[in-house]
Amino acid sequence: MTERAAVAGVVRVRVAAVAVVGLLAALAVAFGILKASSSSRDAQAPEPVVTAVVPLRPVITGLAVGSSGVWASSESGGATTPSAGGLLWRIDPATNRPGSPIPLSGGGQGIAFAAGSVWTVSPEGTRRVDPKTGRVLAEIEAARGSEIEGFGSALWVGQQRIDPATNAVAAVGSFDGFVNAIGPEGTWARSDVLERVEPRTGRILATLRRPGFTPNAIGLGGGSAWVAYASRSEWETTVIVRIDPKTNRFAGDLVVLHGRVPSALVYADGMLWLLAHNEEEQGARLTQIDPKNGSVVGVPLHLTGGTPGLLVAQGSTLWVGEDLDQGTVTRVDLR
């Protein structure tokens, strides 16, 4: 080898070494940026923190939020000694304490807040209650059942629309099942299928079927409708699906979760919150899901008391109702 060739070889080795070092440095910088970006996203996500557990009385049958506070309905006799009566409770978010329960003859199997009033439903009918005084303002015997949903001035009891201006049944829908979600993203009913209905007449606007799955819960927010489907063939398998209200069509599966049966789904603080349980674990878990990419954010919050199955959102606060054993309402703040 000539001296010139030897020098050229050394130069090539040095250049290659410099290139490798440069590449490693670039990778390190890129990884650092990605890691910082990921940490930034995690830092922006709200963290669920249990701030209060409000003891009421089993069996809690419904939860609703309104301008006057958080409302819960329960059977007055409890799980072991049920009676024909029911109780209506108001929880003050400022103190996390319930007021004196309001007795309801005939029981209260569901609750909603609409048109400035609290509404309860039972097999005897629907009652309108003044949230300030607790006085029953109207009784609608024609609207009976256990399912009730309200939003703004809209109120549905099962398949019947109630007009708060007249306190009477104004329309009967042609859909199966019952109205389960009302909001800017539409009025939605569920049974074995999912149906979007016309908000005044109850006429079916669209029917969405997912073979092998049952729609267990619906959440509205962020310009979309979100549905938590439970698999009929794969036990404890949940699929959350996005629906585009502009087309009334499925817009894709967001995430598939195993080991959970969905109970409730809400949209709050830009995130989806799924309340779900399984048979091998006490209580339920509250899972935060990013609606943009379907990723599970953080570790699901384990709520160990009884059988939580009710979930409502009030701004940056979630309220979880234990509906069978203990009769508690848990406050979860999103920080």
Establish if 206 belongs to a structural domain.
no
Q: For 296-326, how does the pLDDT look when each residue is reduced to its tens digit (9 = 90+)?
A: 999 999 998 788 999 999 999 999 998 777 8
Establish if 199 belongs to a structural domain.
no
The average pLDDT across 45-57 equals: 93
Give me the percent of the chain exceeding a pLDDT of 70: 84
Establish if 113 belongs to a structural domain.
yes
Query: For residue 129, what are its two tokens?
Result: 């209650």
Q: For 277-286, how does the pLDDT look when each residue is reduced to its tens digit (9 = 90+)?
A: 988 888 999 9
Domain identity same for 69 and 140: yes
From the list 322, 321, 319, 323, the residue with the least C-alpha distance to 333 is 319
Domain identity same for 149 and 229: no
Establish if 166 belongs to a structural domain.
yes
Domain identity same for 222 and 324: yes
Domain identity same for 324 and 265: yes
Domain harbouring 72, CATH code: 2.120.10.80
The average pLDDT across 181-194 equals: 97
Domain identity same for 166 and 220: no
- Give Cβ neighbours of residue 275 (< 8 Å, ≥ 6 apart): 262, 263, 264, 265, 284, 285, 286, 308, 309, 310, 311, 320
**CA separation for the pair 125, 141 (Å, rounded):** 4
Domain identity same for 218 and 332: yes
Establish if 226 belongs to a structural domain.
yes
The average pLDDT across 145-160 equals: 95
Boundary residue ending a domain (150, 172, 194): 172
Q: Which domain holds residue 223?
A: 212-335
The average pLDDT across 78-89 equals: 64
Domain harbouring 272, CATH code: 2.120.10.30
Over the chain, what is the mean pLDDT? 85
Q: For 197-209, how does the pLDDT look when each residue is reduced to its tens digit (9 = 90+)?
A: 999 999 999 999 9
Q: What is the DSSP track for 238-267? A: EEEEEEETTTTEEEEEEEEEES-EEEEEEE
Mean pLDDT lowest among 30-39, 72-81, 181-190, 216-225: 30-39
Domain identity same for 159 and 237: no
pLDDT attached to residue 76: 62
**CA separation for the pair 60, 320 (Å, rounded):** 11
Give CA 32 to chain center in angstroms.
35
- Residue 214: pLDDT band (50, 70, 90) is very high
Domain identity same for 147 and 254: no
Establish if 35 belongs to a structural domain.
no
Boundary residue ending a domain (118, 153, 172): 172
From the list 292, 248, 296, the residue with the least C-alpha distance to 270 is 292
The average pLDDT across 241-245 equals: 98
pLDDT attached to residue 124: 87
- Residue 222: pLDDT band (50, 70, 90) is very high
Domain identity same for 167 and 216: no
Mean pLDDT lowest among 48-62, 71-85, 140-154, 249-263: 71-85
Boundary residue ending a domain (146, 172, 198): 172
Establish if 10 belongs to a structural domain.
no
Q: Which amino acid is at 219?
A: G
Domain identity same for 219 and 167: no
The average pLDDT across 149-178 equals: 97
- Residue 42: pLDDT band (50, 70, 90) is low
Establish if 297 belongs to a structural domain.
yes
How much is the pTM? Answer: 0.84
Domain identity same for 291 and 233: yes
Q: Kindly tell me if the per-residue pLDDT of 263 is higher than 50.
A: yes
Count of structural domains within the chain: 2
Q: What is the DSSP track for 126-163? A: EEEE-TTT--EEEEETTS-SS-EEEETTEEEETTEEEE
Return the SS3 of 187. strand
Domain identity same for 318 and 245: yes
Q: From residue 31, how far is each of 37, 41, 43 by CA, in Å?
A: 10, 15, 18
Cα angle value 3/5/8 (rounded, 5°):
110
Q: For 112-125, how does the pLDDT look when each residue is reduced to its tens digit (9 = 90+)?
A: 999 999 999 988 89
